[in-house]
Structure 1
Amino acid sequence: MKVAQLVIGGDTAGGQIVALAVARAARARGDEVVFCSPSRGPFTRLVEAEGMPVFDIDVSRTFKLGGVLRLARELRRRRVDVLHTHGALASNVLSRVAGRAARVPVVSHLHIENHLPAARTRAGALRRLDNWSAGLAARILVVSEHTKRALEQQGYPAKRLEVVPNGVHVAYSGNSTGRSLRSELGIPDRTPLVLEIARLCDVKGQRELIDAVASLEGVYAVLVGEDLEQGGRYRELLEHRIAASGAASRIVLAGHRPDARALLEEVDIFALPSWIEGMPITVLEAMAHGRPVVATPVGGTGEVVVDGETGLLVPPHDSAALARALGELAADPVRARRLGEAGRRRVELHFSEDAMTRRILEVYDELAA
């Protein structure tokens, strides 16, 4: 079987991480995998380094109809058996049309619900177009019950939606001392260290996290991620906020880190105070590494983090509540470790990468039968 994975861009994000996990599992059983992307970046370089070809197709965030024709031609030319897409609204619509034109079944994998523009006329047109194109997909997978409900409310038929929760590999040693990261960044030993891994943008809650950590004497934070949407302007805004907070010595904007996930072994708390989410891979990875999570109950996050059992949930946009939760765990490392261990067990039981990839490969086989 030959599978094409279509991603929304060349940078590393949740959809790309899922696509790569599925691609590796497919190759392990003998399938051939190619990737399609509208841009190049760290993720596409990783894919090519693993021996999977990447071809450029611009069906991303805008409705570029030329991409439909090119994608359909490439699917036919490469004799693809299944097209698995990990996109947003525009790329979902266009890739479904391309798949139908090429007579290739499309697995449309939605990692978050659609967030339509405020203008009612345009939002209504996009909603109708997306709902229509959903009928062209052979299967529609969603990452959480929350996403499923949101798409049903938008107009997707409930019987077409299957929840396949995101999953990660559980590889927790529990032996890291954290000295490498602390030494590199000049963070004192035995001080509470908070980590966030996310692109730098409003909806990931970095401003609230900066304000919360600044109010907690002796607590340090490392924010890993790049400003992919505003060309560095949002990072500058955060830098000014850190400088004005009086906590510049305790809060680090670390940018892109190839070792981002390894850093989970070296911190005390993981935070993700997002405004919107699908089912965040970074939260699952933090839990898999036995780290307590402080997050917001948005999207599928509340299906992963059990408040008071595997982490703490706080309202979005509330830096004071975020500070209280971080402060509680920073002051009680025994409780923090207990929550982290419970989180690791929860991921192992309910959100494993093996379970996710196994179900998706079954979907491929059902379509090929």
Structure 2
Amino acid sequence: MNPATLPAAPFPLSILCLSDSWGGLELNTARFAGWMRERGWPVQLVVRPNSPLARRAQEMSLSVVLFENRWKALDVPAARRLARVWAQFGTRAVLITRNADLGVAVLAKRLFSPGMALVYQQHMQLGLAKRGVVHTLRYNALAAWLSPLPGLARQVLEKTRLAPEKLHVVPLGVDLAKFTDARLTTAEARRRLQLELPAGAVLLGLIGRFDDGKGQDFVVEALARLRPRFPQLHLLLVGEPTRNEGTAYYDALQGRIRELGLTNAVHLRGFTPEPEVAYRALDISVTASVNETYGMVTIEALAAGRPVVGAAAGGTRELLADNRTGLLFGLRDVDSFAACIERLLTEPGLAERLGAAGQAEALATYSHTRQCELTEQVLRAVAG
């Protein structure tokens, strides 16, 4: 190979995420930092003290800087400290994974580090239009904006004044190998989860934190409607209550399960660091979120080769091609959901066809290697 065609060597990369929560955004941030380190990039995570992300990064032995900005986007002293952190690490590009942190990052660039390349990795939908002066100045300071789905990228162009050439579609990735490992059989996965199901049981599952936006309550109600006709149906719910928001939703859900007489049919399990085990235990995976921006859980289920039934809302509509890689149902529409489940139970070969097509789509599009490669191309273009 001609040396001139070789990719530029990795350079120091800072990743900024000042979140106190622990969900998909934070988990993806930690995963991405680890993957980039494995690929030879010097990576530094700038996080809040005592945050779940800080603890996870330390468990992964990542380079961590603890940072606070009390006055958010107006915190000039914090912006000075942040620029100093970048300078000490030799940072040439900063990846910002949370919208709320753009303000202090842009302030640090404008006042103290004008040559820094700022790259925003989008995880959430924009919501209202952001075409005003403040947002326009902030987005103009970015060297690049990474959207995980084409639909989200179109939304960015519609709702902001971001220069189109700065916008790139980079799907968030999954370490697919552990979800496709055929050695982890359904029987073994159920054994690990201590699931004792009757012969002929069909296990539905929803993986994700217990939150009214995730739809566990909807699926429980739908199960109660379906079981008189399909008594073989069982439901696995895996997750934990949303951090710092109490257990009211989870407690109410448990009460409703008892009221509906579903105690023996609904199986609750806590958060697992091995989600592949939960997916491999299922016969059918359900995504019932009210407005899932991206839906990593959907991608993980696809990678595991499970047929996925998803609510036609948010990013799920883009991740699932209806009747090709999954089935879509009307948001919180029990009849529509029940029709999807009935099809999977009664149409010969449908579940296998959808599972195989969905897995092929996941392997082609959503590997963590592809996310890293596409991101590297952008980083080298803006800071190489």
TM-score above 0.5: yes
Q: SS state of the match for residue 141, structure 1?
A: strand
1:274 counterpart (286, 289, 294): 289
Query: Equivalent residue for 1:50?
Result: 60
Q: State, as a whole percentage, how many aligned pairs show the same letter.
A: 26
Query: Equivalent residue for 2:168?
Result: 162
Q: SS state of the match for residue 213, structure 2?
A: helix
Query: Equivalent residue for 1:112?
Result: 124
Query: Equivalent residue for 2:317?
Result: 302
Please say if 1:87 is aligned against 2:87: no
> Pairwise mapping of residues 163-182 of structure 1 onto structure 2 (< 5 A)?
163-171=169-177, 172-175=180-183, 176-181=185-190
Question: How far apart, in 2, do the equivalents of 1:263 and 1:354 lie?
Answer: 23
Provide closer, same or farther for how the CA distance between residues 30 and 266 of structure 1 changes in structure 2, counting only shifts above 3 A.
Answer: same
Please say if 1:22 is aligned against 2:32: yes
Provide closer, same or farther for how the CA distance between residues 264 and 146 of structure 1 changes in structure 2, counting only shifts above 3 A.
Answer: same
Query: Equivalent residue for 2:263?
Result: 248
Question: How far apart, in 1, do the equivalents of 2:200 and 2:17 lie?
Answer: 41
> Pairwise mapping of residues 261-340 of structure 1 onto structure 2 (< 5 A)?
261-332=276-347, 334-340=349-355
Unaligned stretches of 5+ in structure 2? Answer: 1-10
| Deviation of the 1:102 alpha carbon | 4.1
| Deviation of the 1:301 alpha carbon | 1.9
Unaligned stretches of 5+ in structure 1? Answer: 117-122
TM-score normalised by structure 1 residue count:
0.87
1:140 counterpart (145, 168, 172): 145
Provide closer, same or farther for how the CA distance between residues 320 and 92 of structure 1 changes in structure 2, counting only shifts above 3 A.
Answer: farther
Question: How far apart, in 1, do the equivalents of 2:120 and 2:53 lie?
Answer: 20
Query: Equivalent residue for 2:210?
Result: 200
Q: Which moved more, 1:56-65 or 1:32-41?
A: 56-65
Q: SS state of the match for residue 95, structure 1?
A: helix
Provide closer, same or farther for how the CA distance between residues 132 and 277 of structure 1 changes in structure 2, counting only shifts above 3 A.
Answer: farther
Query: Equivalent residue for 2:251?
Result: 236
Query: Which amino acid is 1:108 matched to?
Result: Y
Q: SS state of the match for residue 261, structure 1?
A: helix
Question: How far apart, in 2, do the equivalents of 1:63 and 1:330 lie?
Answer: 53
Please say if 1:368 is aligned against 2:383: yes
Q: SS state of the match for residue 181, structure 1?
A: helix
Query: Equivalent residue for 2:8?
Result: none
Query: Equivalent residue for 1:119?
Result: none
Provide closer, same or farther for how the CA distance between residues 60 and 234 of structure 1 changes in structure 2, counting only shifts above 3 A.
Answer: farther
| Deviation of the 1:291 alpha carbon | 0.8
For the 8 Å contact 2:72–2:103, the answer to whether it is kept is: no
Question: How far apart, in 2, do the equivalents of 1:256 and 1:57 lie?
Answer: 28
1:213 counterpart (206, 223, 240): 223
Q: Which moved more, 1:230-239 or 1:63-72?
A: 63-72
The structure with more radius of gyration: 2
Query: Equivalent residue for 1:131?
Result: 136
Query: Which amino acid is 1:138 matched to?
Result: A
Paired residues, what number? 361
* 1:111-147 C-alpha deviation (Å, 9 max, x unpaired): 121235xxxxxx87x9653333111111111111221
Provide closer, same or farther for how the CA distance between residues 180 and 344 of structure 1 changes in structure 2, counting only shifts above 3 A.
Answer: closer
| Deviation of the 1:59 alpha carbon | 5.9
Question: How far apart, in 2, do the equivalents of 1:294 and 1:62 lie?
Answer: 40
Query: Which amino acid is 1:169 matched to?
Result: D
For the 8 Å contact 2:117–2:382, the answer to whether it is kept is: yes
Query: Which amino acid is 2:239 matched to?
Result: G
Please say if 1:78 is aligned against 2:82: no
Question: How far apart, in 1, do the equivalents of 2:256 and 2:16 lie?
Answer: 37
Question: How far apart, in 1, do the equivalents of 2:355 and 2:32 lie?
Answer: 27
TM-score normalised by structure 2 residue count:
0.84
| Deviation of the 1:227 alpha carbon | 1.9
| Deviation of the 1:168 alpha carbon | 2.1
Q: SS state of the match for residue 195, structure 1?
A: strand
Q: Which moved more, 1:69-78 or 1:161-170?
A: 69-78
| Deviation of the 1:23 alpha carbon | 2.5
